[in-house]
Structure 1
Amino acid sequence: MIRKLCIGGIGGVLCLLWGPSGFGLEPFAPRGELRIVDTSPLNWLSIALNVFERLIEIDIDGNLDPGLATGWRWIDDRTLEVTLRQSVVFHNGEAFDAETVRLNWEAYAGLRQPQMMGEFMNFKPGSRLEVVDPSTVRFRFPEPDGAALVKLGRLHMANRQFHEEHGWGEQQWGMLNKAGPWGTGPYRLMDGFSSSQKRSDRIVLEASRQYWAAKQSPRPQRLVFDNTLSRQEALQSINTAEGPVDLVSELRPVEAMSVAQSSFAEQATKRAALVTVFGQLNMRKAGSPWRDVRLRQAINLAVNRQELLGDIKGHGVIIPALAPEGAFGYDAAVTPYPFDPDKARQILQEAGYPDALMLELIAPEELQTQAISISMMLEQVGFTVDLQVLDAGAFQRQTRLKDVDHPPEQRTWDVALRSALDHLNFPPFLLYHDFALDGPSDWVGEEPELRRLYEEILRTVDREQQERLIRQMERHAHEQASFLYLYNPAQLYAVNKAVTFVLHATTLLPLVETSVTDAHWSVRKISGQEGASETRSAQADWNNAEQVALGEKVYVSFCAGCHGANLEGQPDWQKRLPLGNFPAPPHDETGHTWHHPDQWLFDIVKDGGQRFAPPRYRSAMPAYRDMLTDEEIWAVLAFIKSRWPSSIRAEQARVDARGQ
């Protein structure tokens, strides 16, 4: 017998189950639908973070946290032992274990550059994986790899089916081009795709009932990313109506002001985001004046950062170097450059510019307000500024080294304002490597001391020692005024008032902790349907072409991932999986679907397999009542029946007649 005890409290309800197999936590039931407009170029990574998991995760504050690993330790500075989480299964029923880690490790090692970020995310040649037992692996490196934990934090774990049917190509790790049961994460990709270059009009994710993390079980039943709306259109929608949009990301301060007047939405603000706004100084251009540290110091003294924050409604914190406040290695002991226009003028004269220095300032459209303010400040101390605000493509062609159409020394700009996200929370990579140490946007050139510190950081596996070295890197970069240091911006979102949105320091959108309240439109819609009289529809008419066409579309989006594109089901569907449940059965004439009446088939789709399962059996068939309308469920059944031979349809019709 299975017994259950629920304990209520301020934080919610905790339910314990016990019986022959011991204690367990009962997951909260997912509910509702969340509609999201995310214009971030890293949308593909947000999708991956919801579908896949990694041995090591980056938590809401940017810290390293156990994921599919329960723990790790350095046996020595070249051997990392990782203990794996047990009883985890993929969306297709495959078990996660050490062999899964080996499969993904070998696929990763087989690519020249798995990650779009760069080759710095590769493991060194000669690195290898040793399987100790099904729940323990050891990574052995030819030399100390101080970034090993960071790299494992972006090594998404996919199942064998994914690698056999699709896999990831060069610079594509984590980008999903096809829906399917690929991960162990809180959500399964049901429809759509997202990559760095292209994304479908709509991306649909469904809560996984097999998710292992019961205490943080996925809250919304369904996530829908709408890529047909611009940010401005989405903002207008969420401010003026309930339902079409629940969450809009990447707001600019001026856009966020409109949310305060809305009856439907509110502003959500993440003040400890891992984002830096700064100015690059072009030291690569021919005859660049910015190689003179005095000039770099002068421009840093010329900017009134407090006034700049006022121009963006106070949404930010002034920082002394590149690392955002609260980032790994941020040094609170370093004082930001003060606003000292007199000192800036004096330095300009000492550097040989007693009159004026011509300066070309470029900025992307998203930083136009900041660029105008900074250009006015610079002109007040003796710079003559030519300001150019560029669209995203033009800005990238000016600043990304591989995209420039002329050699770097022929680029005429002097200062490029930009915003950089360090979603790894490891400043040596996405900040210092990218912008100062041979990265794709390195306009600093050679900086021996930064390079020495960078290499030393990567040679130590001691996190405390790494943090001390990053602080040294920050202090050196500050003293050398290698960049125009500005501020760490808050990240702004528009959110439906009936959504409890949990914000992450990475600014990405893992949504497992986010939930909808009883007042949310999707919950009210379902509640309104409960208790209504059960009226039998026109049923599933395989001869109705319109109904069959709708059913095929719904089947492809919600059913084909498990039951097969041709209704063939999963291999060995009558053989139990390691956890005791069965693979997804076929819906063609070889299966048992036609043995049941229409209403029973309708009910199992709507209410889920658990309603009809025997005691202690854990069905993987989810309930679709929150995702599909009754009309769509009947249409799916019509499509399935349309694929049967006439003899099977006739037999099922007799079964259906007896079942009424």
Structure 2
Amino acid sequence: MTDEPVRVRGPFARIGAAACGALLLAAPAVAETLRIGVGAPATSLDPHFHNNGPNNALTMHLFDRLVERDARARPQPSLAESWTQLSPTLWEFRLRRDATWHDGRPFTADDVLFSFERAPAVPNSPGGFGAFLRMIARAEAVDAHTLRLHTRQPHPLLPVDLGSVSIIARHAAAGAGTEDYNAGRATIGTGPYRLGEYRAGSAAVLLRNDAYWGGAEPWSRVDYRFLPNDGARTAALLAGDVDLIDQIPTSDLARLRRDPGVTVSEVASLRTMFLAPVYSIDGNHPQVTDHAGRPLPENPFRDPRVRKALSMAIQRDALAERVMEGAARPTGQWLPEGAFGYNPAVQPTPYDPEAAKALLAEAGYPEGFRLTIATPNDRWPNDARLSQAVAQMWTRIGVRSGVEALPYAAFVPRRTRQELPMQMAAWGSSTGEAINYLVSIAGTYDRARLSGAANMWRYSDPKLDEMTARAAATLDDTGREALLREAVAYYAETMPYIQLVQLTTSWGVRKGLTHEPRMDERTVAMGVRPAPR
């Protein structure tokens, strides 16, 4: 071990305190209200309860992280002003001295220790944040504003991982449950806004934190409304009832682009949409039957030939062009081109229905079978329409498929209980690199190891786990990316989930405002500013 800091080079290198200065340049405060209409409701104000996009977008107004990720998923200083890798398994973080909680009490390293203890252990979490802390063997506060983190092995992506874990106040949250956050009792953060009001399933009111360490935001109040109906969301923007909407219905994109009072803001998304079979179901499920309606004795999706046949039956170009109306592209992996770990050699499965039928016959299903695809109908762009299109394509090869479309609030509990054998799914790799998906979605579910936290389908492949672990422990960026590309190729070959499309995300913005689109799809007031005059 050397006494000299190890300087990590590459896309996730250490960022010093000098870079933090840029974050302190805030626009002057003006007394205005910003009205936002989002398509997917948040399910909780507890920042550790559920790692999903709507919750993360809302709670990041209220809570900060040690490391923040900008609109292009690049790590930036936040509650940690700087960090240094002292050895391959030891990191030191220098914490801000000017950050205070919304109630005026000072932020300290002890709050970070408390946050790291709580984040992986929230009761009844449908998919938590433990994966981002899995490599931390020990955390210690050297003093009130110096934190040292010992990792289980070399882990160059530690700062990137920490960009996903909100820091909460020990004095406000000790003994508090998720219900205390939803009631506002524990919702005390260091973020640019403090909670004014929260109406579950309806709206939140956010009030400017004038004491924010990064400078006061331009909006004195943010009305953050949940508008899951596509038509109502577009109508609200055109009527001037809201200033910004997300998840523009693809059928409305052209119309909004023509409207002189609206600007469309868009970016290539980190979100992929895929179909996920549930591996924990053994068989004899009423939603997977033969053509006479008798449940199959075994789970057909455990056979890779069946998964590949289903993938070969999908016309992804048609999904992207017709269903998504150009707001997506076909994909065979989970990151957009140019992201760290993207493998250019992995292309979408070619459409070949005759070969798909032959593979089904080889797997023991010459006549096919019957299947129900479960999907939300209000979470991701055209989620139910995509499911219906795939169902038609699968029916053509003998897998007669129906669709069960549910509101997202009803879909999530059933998904978490693994009740639905084939599900529409999506994942946004907010870290901007490949390991996030490999650990959280494709990694074996293991609460002790904090892996597979979002693997609701219980896929497990020890070889893929080992490939992921090797890549995660490789300090050299070039070597790590090469290993990740190997893992992507292996994933495409074994096909645990059936990749469909990579999204392009768009927002509708009232003229007079500027908006910075985020690759992680989060809709946040911090990205909206009055247009220069």
TM-score interval for Structure 1 and Structure 2 normalised by the shorter chain: 0.7 to 0.9
1:498 is matched with: 512
Q: 1:164 to 1:295 in 2, by over 3 A?
A: closer
**Structure 2: distance between partners of 1:462 and 1:445:** 29
1:593 is matched with: none
**Structure 1: distance between partners of 2:276 and 2:147:** 42
The aligned amino acid for 1:315 is A
1:323 is matched with: 335
SS at match of 2:92: strand
Following TM superposition, where does structure 1 have runs of at least 4 consecutive aligned residues deviating by more than 6 angstroms?
A: none
**Structure 1: distance between partners of 2:337 and 2:302:** 27
Counterpart check, 1:247 vs 2:283: no
Counterpart check, 1:281 vs 2:277: yes
1:234 is matched with: 233
**Structure 1: distance between partners of 2:411 and 2:26:** 47
Cα contact 2:109–2:141 (8 A) shared by 1 = no
2:407 is matched with: 391
Equivalenced residues, count: 469
Counterpart check, 1:189 vs 2:191: no
Q: 2:184 aligns with which of 162, 166, 178?
A: 178
**Structure 1: distance between partners of 2:179 and 2:321:** 40
Q: 1:403 to 1:285 in 2, by over 3 A?
A: closer
Counterpart check, 1:29 vs 2:31: no
Q: 1:202: Cα distance to partner?
A: 3.7
Q: 1:500: Cα distance to partner?
A: 0.8
The aligned amino acid for 2:193 is R
Query: Matches of residues 208-357 of structure 1 in structure 2 within 5 Å?
Result: 208-213=209-214, 218-227=217-226, 232-239=231-238, 241-242=239-240, 244-256=241-253, 258-260=255-257, 262=259, 264-271=261-268, 273-283=269-279, 284-286=281-283, 287-311=298-322, 312-357=324-369
Q: Deviations over 1:111-150 (max 9, x none)?
A: 761585153344568512142x665432224554566324
**Structure 1: distance between partners of 2:164 and 2:510:** 30
1:102 is matched with: 110
Query: Matches of residues 631-646 of structure 1 in structure 2 within 5 Å?
Result: none
1:12 is matched with: none
SS at match of 1:62: coil
The aligned amino acid for 1:237 is A
The aligned amino acid for 2:428 is L
In structure 1, runs of 5+ residues without a counterpart are 1-23, 405-410, 520-660
2:94 is matched with: 83
Query: Matches of residues 612-631 of structure 1 in structure 2 within 5 Å?
Result: none
Cα contact 1:364–1:392 (8 A) shared by 2 = yes
Counterpart check, 1:485 vs 2:524: no
Q: 1:448 aligns with which of 459, 462, 465?
A: 462
Q: 1:314: Cα distance to partner?
A: 0.7
1:156 is matched with: 166
**Structure 2: distance between partners of 1:336 and 1:357:** 24
Q: 1:263: Cα distance to partner?
A: 5.1
**Structure 2: distance between partners of 1:443 and 1:181:** 32
**Structure 2: distance between partners of 1:169 and 1:463:** 40
Q: 1:275: Cα distance to partner?
A: 0.8
**Structure 2: distance between partners of 1:494 and 1:392:** 23
**Structure 2: distance between partners of 1:253 and 1:81:** 46
Q: 1:388: Cα distance to partner?
A: 3.0
Higher relative contact order (CA 8 A, sep 6+): 2
Q: 1:54 aligns with which of 62, 65, 69?
A: 65
Q: Deviations over 1:602-654 (max 9, x none)?
A: xxxxxxxxxxxxxxxxxxxxxxxxxxxxxxxxxxxxxxxxxxxxxxxxxxxxx
Root-mean-square deviation (Å): 3.5
Q: 1:334: Cα distance to partner?
A: 1.8
> When you count strand as a share of all residues, which structure comes out higher?
2
In structure 2, runs of 5+ residues without a counterpart are 1-22, 43-52, 284-297, 446-451
Q: 1:172 to 1:103 in 2, by over 3 A?
A: farther
**Structure 1: distance between partners of 2:339 and 2:219:** 30
Q: 1:151 to 1:199 in 2, by over 3 A?
A: farther
The aligned amino acid for 1:247 is L
**Structure 1: distance between partners of 2:299 and 2:506:** 37
The aligned amino acid for 1:62 is A
1:604 is matched with: none
Q: Deviations over 1:363-395 (max 9, x none)?
A: 222412212222222233343323333333453
Q: Which stretch has the larger CA shift, 102-111 or 87-96?
A: 87-96
Q: 1:57: Cα distance to partner?
A: 1.0
Q: 1:337: Cα distance to partner?
A: 1.5
SS at match of 1:50: coil
1:204 is matched with: 206
Q: Deviations over 1:517-560 (max 9, x none)?
A: 378xxxxxxxxxxxxxxxxxxxxxxxxxxxxxxxxxxxxxxxxx
1:137 is matched with: 147
Cα contact 2:136–2:149 (8 A) shared by 1 = no
SS at match of 1:276: strand
SS at match of 1:251: coil
Query: Matches of residues 597-616 of structure 1 in structure 2 within 5 Å?
Result: none
2:393 is matched with: 377
Q: 1:71 aligns with which of 69, 82, 92?
A: 82
> When you count helix as a share of all residues, which structure comes out higher?
1
Cα contact 2:90–2:150 (8 A) shared by 1 = yes
Cα contact 1:328–1:426 (8 A) shared by 2 = yes
Q: 1:166 to 1:55 in 2, by over 3 A?
A: closer
Cα contact 2:388–2:402 (8 A) shared by 1 = no
Cα contact 2:248–2:508 (8 A) shared by 1 = yes
Counterpart check, 1:434 vs 2:441: yes
Cα contact 2:129–2:164 (8 A) shared by 1 = no
Cα contact 1:87–1:212 (8 A) shared by 2 = yes
**Structure 2: distance between partners of 1:25 and 1:307:** 46
Q: Normalising by structure 2, report the TM-score.
A: 0.76
Q: Deviations over 1:397-456 (max 9, x none)?
A: 5432x363xxxxxx6x4x322222333445444565335522454435431211212333
Q: 1:37: Cα distance to partner?
A: 1.7
2:376 is matched with: 364
